[in-house]
Chains A and B, each alone.
Chain A
Amino acid sequence: MNWVLLWKIVLLFTLFGYFFLVCIVTFGGIGNIIEMLKDLSAPSEEP
């Protein structure tokens, strides 16, 4: 088994995959925060 090749692939996948995740989550998260604060401002459903 070529461990060096495996870890190179894992490292590159991690760096690029995480970069894309951070972009998506950052922009999506801002929208989610606004919606969450709206939810919490609304009258409560629980007693």
Chain B
Amino acid sequence: MDVFATNFKTVDWVIVSIYICIPLVIGIIVRKYVRQLSDFIVAGRSLRLFIAIATLTGTELGLVTVMYNSELGFKHGFSAFHIGIIETVCILAIGITGFIVYKLRQLRVMTIPEFYEMRFGRNVRIIGGILLSLGGILNMGLFLQAGARFMMGVTGYSNPAGLKLFMSVMLIMVLIYTVLGGMVSVVLNDFLQFVVLSIGMLVGSYFAIQKIGWSNLFTAPETVSSASWFNPVAEGSGFGMIYVLFMVVLTFSAGALWQSGTLRALSAKTPKVAKQLYAWSSVSYLARRVIPMLWGICAFVFVSQSPKLLSAFQGPDALNSQFGMPIFIAKVLPSGFLGLIAAGMFAAFMSTHDSYLLSWSSVITQDIIAPLKKGHLSDKQRLLITRISIVTIGLFLLIWGLWFEAPVSLWNYMAVTGTIYLAGAFTVVAAGLYWKKASKTGATLALFAGLLAILGIGPWTQGENIPFYLSDKFIGLMTFVIAILGMIVGSLLFPDKGTQQEVTQ
């Protein structure tokens, strides 16, 4: 069987072409509803429960999400499901308690660094803004690469220049689309993504399970150990207890404070809706993990049944494991439906990029450059800086995606780079909201501690027999611990002078 054989036909190209025009049309139609900054960034804080669930799911279910989760399923089997369980419990806990999100929505802030200034002053906002944009931009560094690999696998385009070609075309489309953005159009597009992708994922799962067979699905392939295929703490699973602990702190902090997700909570009509949003969305957080992982598992079982396919993923010239799922669905899904899935994924890719590019470029303008200029920037200058930032970030993504390979897996790369921002942000916001003694010095130390996570994407994290203290999971977990210690020690040794800020009351 040819590795890149596909059911993707002309009709699928037509479906993709038509579908990706829809977000552009929506963007143009709804521009009349955007009259002020809060309309643009938080949709006028007008989101009710169901549309908020759809838009949160639409944002958190991008093409890169499907790629990194399917890669985890392809490489680690059912043992990867534990990440979905942990994340679901964390999101549900945030929904039930309202931890962080309820208070942030009450404060009516629009970005996380805005809270830093409200609670700890301008300098903390600038430092937080720099680290947020650094972590955020590095975090999306491999989005283009993963997206291009998906499109290559699905369309069967195996030319070695394909990665560069798809990355370049996708980047240009994203940059054009982003210029038309704004939260109202993003919300409507997210709703469309939610409906199309959700139906596609459920129907796609039916085809995948039907191809492999229900009983075969739960039998570990001969090439892997049965224990590590199912048990996340078994030796050889690639996870272990340190990883599980890292996932608990990471998914809890990301659930509460990942910029794109939190923005939806801040857009909710009331603080109560923000809480309900998280409780209901716990199911979709489970689905965004488990369903792509299922596809990855089916892909590996499918590949294991064909010596030619299996050999393509082994040896020194092995295909990247991210190709496993797209190559599988390209052979299993019927033409027409495959086009719909590819179109939905591509639109989700554009929508995610749009949100992230806007988020990070806005942080550079609003939370770094504007405070440095002490607010002496006209709207025209702000817009120009934002646009320059978007294009600069886009070029960085292209170069980084062509040059850099995730040392362990795409998800581990995302987790560690996300920690650069999350370790500091989670500590600073949680302490800022719930601990009256939290001080500027503590906040600054916690934010800088997040930089330690960069060590987690170094080449020393690669390989099977590395000592645990050099592994990305240990570095990630320790970054959180050091950030929390930095906040506690810094606040106790160097308390803020004067009266306590009103924010914590």
Residues of A bordering B, CB below 8 Å? 1, 3-4, 7-8, 10-11, 13-15, 17-19, 21-22, 24-26, 28-29, 31-33, 35-37, 39-41, 44, 46
Contacts and interface: CB of A to CB of B under 8 A. Distances in A.
A10 B218 contact: no
A35 B195 contact: no
Given A25-B50, A26-B54, A29-B51, 9 more contacts: A10-B81, A10-B84, A18-B286, A21-B280, A29-B191, A29-B194, A32-B49, A36-B47, A40-B44
Nearest to B39: A40
Interface string B15-46: 00000000000000000010110110001101
Nearest to A21: B283
Given A10-B85, A15-B202, A15-B205, A36 B78 contact: no
Nearest to A45: B44
A28 B50 contact: yes
A4 B297 CA distance: 14
A25 B84 CA distance: 21
B198 A18 contact: yes
A19 B291 CA distance: 12
A25 B44 contact: no
B308 interface: no
A35 B33 contact: no
Interface of B: 33, 35-36, 38-39, 43-44, 46-54, 57, 78-79, 81, 84-85, 184, 187-188, 191, 194-195, 198-199, 201-202, 205, 218, 230-231, 280, 283-284, 286-287, 290-291, 294
Nearest to B286: A14
Contact of B294 (A11, A31, A35): A11
Given A3-B231, A4-B218, A17 B286 contact: yes
A28 B53 CA distance: 10
A26 B188 CA distance: 12
B73 to A, nearest CB: 11
A2 B81 CA distance: 14
10 contacts: A3-B231, A10-B84, A18-B201, A18-B284, A18-B291, A21-B280, A36-B43, A41-B33, A44-B36, A44-B44
A44 B50 contact: no
Closest 5 pairs between A and B when the two form their complex, measured CB to CB: A28-B50, A32-B51, A3-B230, A18-B287, A32-B48
Given A4-B230, A10-B84, A40-B44, A29 B290 contact: no
Contact of A39 (B46, B188, B194): B46
B352 to A, nearest CB: 19
Contact of B230 (A7, A15, A44): A7
Contacts of A18: 198, 201-202, 283-284, 286-287, 291
A41 to B, nearest CB: 7
B202 A22 contact: yes
Nearest to A47: B36
Contact of A14 (B33, B198, B287): B287
